[in-house]
Amino acid sequence: MGNTVINPMMSIIRHRQEGLKAGIPSYCTANEIVIEAVLEQAKRFGDSVLIEATSNQVNQFGGYTGMKPADYRDYVWGIADRIGFDRSKIILAGDHLGPQPFQNQPEAEALENAKEMVRQYAAAGYTKIHLDTSMRVADDDRSQPLSDFTIARRGAELLKVAEAAWQELHKQDPSAVHPVFIIGSEVPIPGGAQEKEEMQVTDPEAFAATVRAYKQVFAEYGLSDLWKYIIAVVVQPGVEFGDADVHMYNRSDAAALCAKLKDFPEIMFEGHSTDYQSPQALKQMVEDGVGILKVGPALTFAAREALFALSHIEDELIDEPEKRSNYIAVVEQAMLENPKNWQKYYHGTPKEQALKRAYSYSDRSRYYMPDPRIEAAMDKLFANLRGADIPMGLLHQYMPLQYIGVRNGSLPMEPRALVKDAVRIVCDDYNYATRPNFVAGSLFI
């Protein structure tokens, strides 16, 4: 494999070994307008951008997006082609690949499904794969936590499948990039915490035990030569969010864990649920060893917030109710008619649940964005406002950060652009954390 193209994720490890505080944001989303915004902000820098799909969003059965791994790849590439972004600079990633979608099945069945999912991701050319075998399946003992060796054994079985799929891909395309892998047995729940709970930073010895277990299992499976592709371990550094609360990073709480990383210079940490952290906290996380910063709901939350703001502007400008998009009401109606994606997560009185459907940090509304009624309402909202003369004072009332860009001439008064700029502000917080000498605009507005 002498002519194998080097995975750009490997350079982050190399830079960290050289003493540089290198890192990269991982944008985990299937939302079209969010992906477009992410790619446009990355285009400013001309380097790679990491875009990730989860096993719940995208799998061999379609996930909640209806897309298989190759479909999601083509979907992202299509957006990139539309805005003139180089496909080769997109690092496609798969998150929580393992039994996550198949937990109600016994191990044999769940692992076969997980293997097929991982095979499809690797065969489609995804070059960062999170092997998540941290969850119990149907025939696991519920009274006992999974052992590190059970988790590692299942992870090794998945890695063997991914490696075989990549070898086949490499035969067909010698320019195919070898994937890197993320492991970890202490993985936060996708999408944020469901209930307010005490935050527990990963115990340093538990982290070390995870690495040792994987290394031992890799040796037993004859996979030691592939250890160089294990670049990160998912840990809990002390960040999480729920409906209305964000547990901010406290580097003193994570000091012992981060110090333990010095024993394993070949890897870094991957941090999940970094949504809604301050730019300074994100930067400290990168400095302390969290080289991959996962963000997802905060991106769609920003887009939803901007769309709601535009809906309020529309109400002010369009006198005839029947001509309005009624975007907020359409979203609420779609969520009420099909409650399966929020009912288990949003608790309380009917009023409290309504507020959570609209404004929760966990942003369960993101599951409903592909609904044709919501897409049609968004299109109508954009069409109505493109034909309207939005007073600057009205824009300032509902979108004060976008007002500054419009006022300064750096942002057009165009509704889709205004929504994407809200996402761009979130991206800039991550750029501040991972790019040397980058100044995030939202820090100083």
Geometric angle at alpha carbon 431, from 308 and 419, rounded to 5°? 20
d(CA 336, CA 353): 10
The structure tokens listed for 314 are 């529309």
Right CATH for 301-443 from 2.10.109.10, 1.10.400.20, 3.40.50.150, 3.90.1150.110? 1.10.400.20
Q: What's CA 6's distance to the chain center, in Å?
A: 23
Q: What class has domain 9-295?
A: alpha beta
Residue 6 binned pLDDT confidence (cut-offs 50, 70, 90): confident
d(CA 72, CA 52): 10
Question: Looking at residue 64, what DSSP letter applies?
Answer: G
pLDDT (average), residues 159-187: 94
pLDDT (average), residues 112-138: 97
Predicted confidence at residue 193, as pLDDT, reads 57
User: What pTM value is reported for the model?
Assistant: 0.95
Q: How many CA atoms within 13 Å lie on the side-chain side of 290? A: 30
pLDDT (average), residues 154-159: 98
9-295 and 301-443 share one fold = no
Domain boundaries, the chain: 9-295, 301-443
- DSSP H or E run through 24: strand 24-28
Residues in contact with 370: Cβ distance below 8 Å, sequence separation at least 6, in sequence order: 65, 66
d(CA 213, CA 207): 10
- DSSP H or E run through 26: strand 24-28
Predicted confidence at residue 195, as pLDDT, reads 53
In DSSP notation, 132-195 reads ---S--TTS-TTSPPPHHHHHHHHHHHHHHHHHHHHHHHHH-TTPBPPEEEE-S--PPTTS-SS
pLDDT (average), residues 417-431: 97
What is the residue-averaged pLDDT of the chain?
Answer: 94
Q: In this predicted model, what pLDDT tens digit does every residue of 131-151 receive, in sequence order?
A: 999 999 999 999 999 999 999
